Structure formats: structure tokens, C-alpha cells
Structure 1
Amino acid sequence: MSLLSVRDLTVKFSNRGQSVTALNGISFDIARGERVGVVGESGAGKSITGFAMMNLLSRPGYIDGGQVLFEGKDVLKMSAREQRSLRGNRMAMIFQDPMVTLNPVLTIGQQMVETLRAHRKLSHEEARQIATVKLKEVYIPSPEARLDQYPHELSGGMRQRIVIAMALLLDPQLIIADEPTTALDVTIQADIMELLLEMCRSNMVGLMLITHDLGVVSQVTERTLVMYAGRIIEAGKTRSIINDPQHPYTQGLINALPQQTPPGSRLKQIPGSMPSLNAMPSGCPFHPRCPLANDLCRTTMPKVVQYADVEVACHEVQRLQSDLTSEAAQ
């Protein structure tokens, strides 16, 4: 049994008496200790997926259907008390900006001790000792002194390390990391990702890494989900997707990487932009930007099919698969 199974998850947002679909029936699994990347442009539905998995959506957003099964139990049907016990305890989330995550009027120690005592029967001193150990694990210098400091007294990299330490406080089985290095310098980004990878490996923690950076995904994750307009359009082993992408959108993302362009040349980009939720095109949502689009793409939503080592939703890929099948039959 998978640690986490998401089935036909649909999320909508109310908009002036109408509703728009932000996630359209997505399904995927995460095994124990597995590292899964979720990539796509802004507006693809990556962060909403993470919030929906934790059932943290607030109005006007709401879950319209589907299941989020954690160890076989549907998170969406749990009572408020059961969900509080799950969040931060067995499922933890690392948000984009540590200054938003951390309470500016409480010391680091107060926040870590409070988190521990909310889920464990510990004395204040026992909780503080565990917090000190966790800060050491993420290479925070002088951890005991840091417990008495406020978030604004620490650097951005140190704050993000503390956020990771807080996510690991209660030894969760799954961490959802939503753009965990967005606000950091490039050198610090590498340190944070290396630390997160080390923590997941040493503790056999499952990781769902939400990012737009395919370079990070290629180094950290074992499997990748590519999202576009609220759908998963390609999924498979990270190495397969990076080395041999099948969907035109995934190909465009990889071709847009700076290292794919010779020095002095203009960077490649995917023409156009992500469609807005209230103006979604008919058929395949990527067809207005796709160089391979045909009449079928403009009218019919492609189904997800297995092709090579990945699952992909693309009419052109399905046509190639059909041609190969016909050739093999002959």
C-alpha cells in the first residue's frame, strides 16, 4: 500500500456566483521514502495540490471531489481533531517564505516547544532538548542560543533551516515542500536542497517537492509529475522525463533551461502563457501554445496513456503509439 494515494482530486474556486476549476481530477501515489517532484509554470496548480492534500484550502477555494488517502484513510473525511493530529505530526509542510511560516513575536524555542507539546506528552525542558537536537541536525550553529532568538534576528538561510527542523520535529512520514528555496540566494538554495535530501534519506521520509526548477528536480527526486492548467499531463521516473520528455509542454520546459542554449544565444521559451481559470480553452488546454496542435487537440481532451517509460496525456503521443502498434502488427 502506498503511503499516500490521491484519486480524482478536484478543486474549485467560487467566483462571483460561478465556480472555476483549479485542479481537474488529478491522481498519483507516493510510496514510503519516495521523493516526488511536481513541476510546472505558475498557475499550473502545484501549490493548490499541496494545500488540498493537507485539507488546508480556505474559501473561496474548496475540494469538489476525490480522495486523499494517507495510509489508507481519507484525509478529507477525517474529523477536525484527526486532521490536527495528522498535520505536523505524520504529514508536514514547508512553505515558500520562512518569514510567513514563523511567528515574528515568538522565539524559535517557543514555537518549536509549542509544536512538540501539542502532539506529545512532554515537559517544557524535554521539548526544548528535542528542539536543540533537531537544530543541530540541520547544522544550525549554537542551537541553544538560537532557541532564544526571534525570526528577524536570523538570516534567510538559517530561517529556512529552522523551518525544515520544525517540519522534522515529530518525525513525519511525508513532507510537502512548496518552493522551499524561493527567497534564498543560489548558493544557499543548494545547501538547503542538499540538507532536505539528506534528512529524507536518513529518516526514510517521503517528499513531495513542489517547484518550477527542473534542475533541482533532476538532482533530488526519483519521480516527477508535470502539471499544466490543473492537470497532470506527464508522469514517470525523473530520469526518463528529463532525458526523453514526451509531452510538448515538458519538452518546452526542458528546452527553456539556460544550459540548453549556447552562450550568447537568446534563451528559448514557450510562446504564450498559462490560461486563466475562467478562460480555459476547449480540448487540450495546451493547444494554443503547442507547435503540434491539430483539430483533435482543439476539440477533445486527451486521455492519459502509457508511452515508453511515462504516462502522458497528448493526442500526438497517442498517434505515435498507434502507428508503432500498427507497424509491429505488420
Structure 2
Amino acid sequence: MALLEVDNLVVKFGHRHGAVTAIRGISFSVERGERLGIVGESGAGKSVAAFSILDLLSEPGFVAAGHIRFDGQDLRALNSEALRQVRGQRISMIFQDPMMTLNPVLSIGVQMIECLKAHRRISTSAARDIALEKLRLVQMPSPEKRLDQYPHELSGGMKQRIIIAIALLLDPELIIADEPTTALDVTIQAEIMQLLLDLCSQQHLALILITHDLGVVSQITDRTLVMYAGRIIEQGPTKGIINDPQHPYTQGLIRALPQQTLPGERLNQIPGSMPTLEHLPSGCAFHPRCAYVRARCDSVVPGFTQAGESLAACHMVEDLVKDPGAVLIETERGQ
């Protein structure tokens, strides 16, 4: 049995004209100790999917359908107190911006100790010892000093290390990291991602890494889901997706990486932009931007087809699997 199983999840956001669908029937699982990447442009639904797992959606968002099982237990069936025992203790989350997570008027030590005492019957001195242990685990320099400091006294990298230490306080089995290095410079990003990788290996933690950066995913995760407009459009082993992407959208994301062009050349980009929730295209949502669009792409939602090491939801991939000798013809969108 997988540690986490998400089955046919549907998430909607209500507004005065009804409701729009942000997540459209996605299913995936995470094994114990596995590192899963969820990739896509802004607006693909990555963070909404992650927030749904822990019931952290803000109104007017709500889970409309589907099951979320953690270690065999349906999280959607739990009351708020039972869910609180899972949230933070067994599943932790690392958010994008540490300044939005840390309380600016409380010292680091107070925040870590309060977190521990909220979930465990523990003395202040014992909680402080655990906080120090976790700060050392994330390689925080001078951890004793940091406990008495306030967030504004620390660098961005230090604040993110503290957020990771807080996520580890209660020895969770799964960490969800939502764009954990967005606010950091490139060198600190690399340090934080290496830290997460090392911690997952040492502590046998499962990780869901949400990012728009395929370069980061290629270095950290075992398996990857590519999302577009609220659906998973490709999934499989990370190395297989990076080295042999099947879906035209995934191919476009990889071509758009800066290292795919020579210095001085114009960067590649996918034509168009992510559709809004109010104006989702029918059929395959990517078809208005696709260079290999078929006649049925605007009316029929593609199912998954096994191609290479991946499962891809694409009519073109389905046609190529049926007829490997078919010749691909690009539209002007692919020029």
C-alpha cells in the first residue's frame, strides 16, 4: 500500500456565477521514501493539489470529489482534530516564502517550541533540545544563537533552513515542499535542494516537490507528474521524462530551459499562455498552443497512453504508438 494515494481529485472555486474547476480528476500516489515532482507553469494547479491534501485550501476553494488516503486512512473523512494529528506530525509542508510562514514578532526558539508543545506533552527545556537538534540537522550555523534571534535578523537561506527544521520537528513521514527556493538566489537554491535531498535519504522521508523548474526536478525526484490546466498530462520516472519527453507540452518545457540555447540566442518558449479557469478549452486544454494538434484535440479529452517510460495524455502520442511510422506535421505554432 502506498503512503499517499490521491484518487480522482476534483477541486473547485466558487464565485458569484457558480464554480470553476481548478483540479480536474487527478490521481497519483507516493510510496514511502519516494521523491515525487509536480511540474507545470503558474496556474497549472500544482499548489492547489498540494493544499488539498492537508485541507489547507482557502475559501472559496473546496474539494468537490475524490479520495485522499494517507497510510490507508481517508483524510477527507477525518474531523478537524483528527486531521490536526496528521497535519504537522505525519505530513509537513514547506511553503514558498519563509517570511509568510515565520511570525516576525516571535523569536525562532519560541516558534519552534510552541509548535512542539502544540502537538506533544513536553517540557520547554525538552522542546528546546529538540529544536536545537533539528537546526543542527539542517546544518544551521550557530544554532544556539539562532534560537534567540528574530526572522528579520536572518538571511533568506537561513530562514528557509529554519522552515525545513520546523517541518522536521515532529518527525513526519511525508514533506510537501511548495516551490521551496523561489525567493532565494541561485547558489542558495542549490544548497537548499541538496539539503532536502540529503534529509530524504537520511531520514527515509517521502517528498512531494512542487516546482516549475524541470532542472531542479531532474536532480531531486524519482518520479514526475507534469500538470497543465488542472490535469496531469504526463507522468513517469523523472529520468525518462527528462531524456525522452512524450507530451508536446513537456517537450516545450524542456526546450524552454536556458541551457537548451547557446549564449546570445533567443530563449525558446511555448506559444500562448495557460488558459484561465473561466475559459478552459474543450477537449485537450493544450490544443490551442500545440504544434501537433489533431482534428479531435478540441473535442475529445485524451486518455493516457504508454510511450517510452511515460504515460502521456495526448492524441498525437496515441497515434504514434498505433503507427510508429507516421510522419509528424507541425502547425505554424511549432515554427
TM-score by length of 2: 0.96
Residue 325 of structure 1: CA displacement?
11
Residue 294 of structure 1: CA displacement?
1.7
Q: Deviations for 1:55-75, whole angstroms, at most 9, x for unmatched residues?
A: 111211000000110001111
Tell me the residue number matched to 1:225. Answer: 225
> Counterparts of 2:325 and 2:167 in 1: how far apart (Å)?
48
> Counterparts of 1:185 and 1:205 in 2: how far apart (Å)?
26
Residue 305 of structure 1: CA displacement?
2.2
> Counterparts of 1:60 and 1:157 in 2: how far apart (Å)?
33
TM-score by length of 1: 0.97
Report SS of the residue matched to 1:55.
Answer: coil
Report SS of the residue matched to 1:189.
Answer: helix
Residue 265 of structure 1: CA displacement?
1.1
> Counterparts of 2:204 and 2:195 in 1: how far apart (Å)?
14
> Counterparts of 1:96 and 1:58 in 2: how far apart (Å)?
16
**Contiguous gaps of at least 5 residues in structure 1:** none
**Contiguous gaps of at least 5 residues in structure 2:** 327-335
What is the one-letter code of the residue matched to 1:153? E
Tell me the residue number matched to 1:96. Answer: 96
Report SS of the residue matched to 1:209.
Answer: strand
Tell me the residue number matched to 1:82. Answer: 82
> Counterparts of 2:82 and 2:304 in 1: how far apart (Å)?
34
Q: Is the 8 A contact 2:11 2:62 kept in 1?
A: yes
Tell me the residue number matched to 1:194. Answer: 194
What is the one-letter code of the residue matched to 1:167? A
Q: Deviations for 1:113-153, whole angstroms, at most 9, x for unmatched residues?
A: 11111122210000000100110111111111111111111
- Structure 2 vs 1, CA of residues 4 and 325 (structure 1 numbering), >3 Å: closer, same or farther? farther
> Counterparts of 1:267 and 1:198 in 2: how far apart (Å)?
33
Matches within 5 A, 1:19-34: 19-34=19-34
Tell me the residue number matched to 2:12. Answer: 12
Report SS of the residue matched to 1:62.
Answer: strand
Residue 323 of structure 1: CA displacement?
1.6
Residue 298 of structure 1: CA displacement?
1.1
> Counterparts of 1:308 and 1:74 in 2: how far apart (Å)?
33
Q: Is the 8 A contact 2:244 2:308 kept in 1?
A: no
Q: Is the 8 A contact 2:30 2:206 kept in 1?
A: yes
> Counterparts of 2:254 and 2:208 in 1: how far apart (Å)?
20
Are 1:212 and 2:212 counterparts? yes
Residue 307 of structure 1: CA displacement?
1.9
> Counterparts of 1:46 and 1:154 in 2: how far apart (Å)?
29
Report SS of the residue matched to 1:103.
Answer: coil
The count of residues paired between Structure 1 and Structure 2 equals: 326
What is the one-letter code of the residue matched to 1:85? Q
What is the one-letter code of the residue matched to 2:120? R
Q: Deviations for 1:259-302, whole angstroms, at most 9, x for unmatched residues?
A: 11122211000000000000011110000000000211011110
Moved more, 284-293 or 147-156: 147-156
Q: Deviations for 1:49-96, whole angstroms, at most 9, x for unmatched residues?
A: 110011111211000000110001111111100111111100000000
> Counterparts of 2:137 and 2:277 in 1: how far apart (Å)?
42
Report SS of the residue matched to 1:118.
Answer: helix
> Counterparts of 2:229 and 2:158 in 1: how far apart (Å)?
34
> Counterparts of 2:196 and 2:167 in 1: how far apart (Å)?
10
> Counterparts of 1:213 and 1:325 in 2: how far apart (Å)?
33
Q: Is the 8 A contact 2:44 2:274 kept in 1?
A: yes
Moved more, 9-18 or 37-46: 9-18
> Counterparts of 2:155 and 2:324 in 1: how far apart (Å)?
56
RMSD: 1.1
Residue 17 of structure 1: CA displacement?
3.1
Are 1:144 and 2:123 counterparts? no
Q: Deviations for 1:208-239, whole angstroms, at most 9, x for unmatched residues?
A: 00000111000000100000000000000000
Report SS of the residue matched to 1:196.
Answer: helix
Residue 324 of structure 1: CA displacement?
4.3
> Counterparts of 1:58 and 1:184 in 2: how far apart (Å)?
26
Tell me the residue number matched to 2:329. Answer: none
Tell me the residue number matched to 1:234. Answer: 234
